Amino acid sequence: MESKLFCWILLSLLILSCFVSQTNEKMQGQTLVYLYKSRLKQNFGVDTSLFKVINHVNEANVHPQVGLKEEDRIERLPGQPLANFSQYGGYVTVHKSAGRALYYYFVEAHHSKNSLPLLLWLNGGPGCSSLAGALLELGPFRVHSDGKTLYTNKFSWNYAANVLFLESPAGVGFSYSNTTSDYDKSGDSRTAADNYVFLVNWLERFPEYKDRDFYISGESYAGHYVPQLAHTILYHNKKANKTIINLKGSIIGNAVINDETDEQGMVDYFGSHAIISDQDVYQIHKYCDFSPNATTQSRECEASYGALEDNIIDINVYNIYAPMCFSSDVTTRPKKASILEFDPCSTNYMYVYLNRPEVQEALHANVTKLTHDWELCGDTIQVWRDSPSTIIPLLKEFMSSGIRVWIFRLVAIHKCMRET
């Protein structure tokens, strides 16, 4: 079962690597902010206390879920082609008194749903929606250029697993809190705790998955989300002296894992692909301090990073050879679409689709009538309180515990495609 899941995911990644979804300007800007965040925060080194599990996660956070599964059932999405699998969408309360609730979208497997694993997908940011994973990457449907209709993704991961997409933390996508100060308390620890409470409650709502093999997957800043959620699961399993969640492995792609090497690697990548000059690469390596404890940078470093930013502003750093989207409009009629044809405006189609009232109603989303649109990467969260400079200690913990860890980079997969 495990080998089937991993082989199917590898196949879909081979396709995805050639047609990486277009990201919007905000998402690209966040990459740069994270790239040199050591200049922006004090004492950003490896603080192992940041890996401590928040102890308020306990049985008191588990709420009755009777009847909620059927209420969450999605009969059919607007403009959706025929499907042979069940899908669900709705909210799970993770903090009752604060009114904090996370939105999920769940698609069961095309076949063998009673035996295939349960897989959670998390997009990163911080602050970006996992519905991008559902409608741009590994979900069963993609959005046509009319912003109204969907077409089938034949490389969807729900051919190999039951896939759960979670918008996290509160303030991302359709997820919300009735206590607005919550949005200024976001960080790695709070996110891991809320994601764990979500899972425990979701498994009460879908009890048939309680003992199922469980995998956590994600991309980008989910390089923090995935390991810290896994760490929280292992902590509570050990504390309860039983298996609460049957965690088997984690999968993270193009992930933020270790600031020092991530930042240097991005600079070297830009330099080796002639996006920035050799001189700028030399200046950055000479004058910038990539160490976790760096709190300030020299003027020479600042100037070189400024030149870097100027050179990447008009390209998609996630797919440097791809065209950019120069139109924010959707078409009146859907263009002929194929999963193998890259469309740089796909995020615009998804934005229009997910903000249609009839779509939100079908998804059981936006039930509180948020004051803002659904966005791929919104502005609700402005503060991120804790983020260790590396999560490598957690990866070592998992491997020593027998938990499978798969880290992939799409660049490496491109090489794999050329050689096959």
Residue 337: predicted pLDDT: 65
In a domain, 43, yes or no: yes
Percent of all residues in the chain with a pLDDT value above 90, rounded to a whole number: 61
Counting the structural domains of the chain, the total is 1
The answer to whether residues 231 and 397 touch, using CB atoms and an 8 Å cutoff, is: yes
pTM of the shown model: 0.89
In a domain, 356, yes or no: yes
CATH code for the domain of 373: 3.40.50.1820
Query: In the predicted model, is pLDDT for residue 359 greater than 90?
Result: yes
Encode pLDDT of 222-238 as tens digits: 999 999 999 999 999 99
Confidence of residue 52 (pLDDT cuts 50, 70, 90): low
In a domain, 287, yes or no: no
> How many Å apart are CA 258 and CA 6, to the nearest integer?
24
Confidence of residue 420 (pLDDT cuts 50, 70, 90): very low
In a domain, 125, yes or no: yes
Q: What average pLDDT is seen over the chain?
A: 85
Q: In sequence order, what E strands does 73-226 have?
A: 73-74, 87-95, 100-107, 118-122, 141-143, 150-152, 162-167, 176-177, 214-219
Residue 336: predicted pLDDT: 67
In a domain, 404, yes or no: yes
In a domain, 397, yes or no: yes
Measured torsion, CA atoms of residues 304, 306, 307, 313, in degrees rounded to the nearest 10: 150
In a domain, 138, yes or no: yes
In a domain, 190, yes or no: yes
**Taking the CA atoms of the chain, what radius of gyration do you get in angstroms?**
21
Confidence of residue 313 (pLDDT cuts 50, 70, 90): confident
Domain holding 235, by residue range, is 2-272+315-418
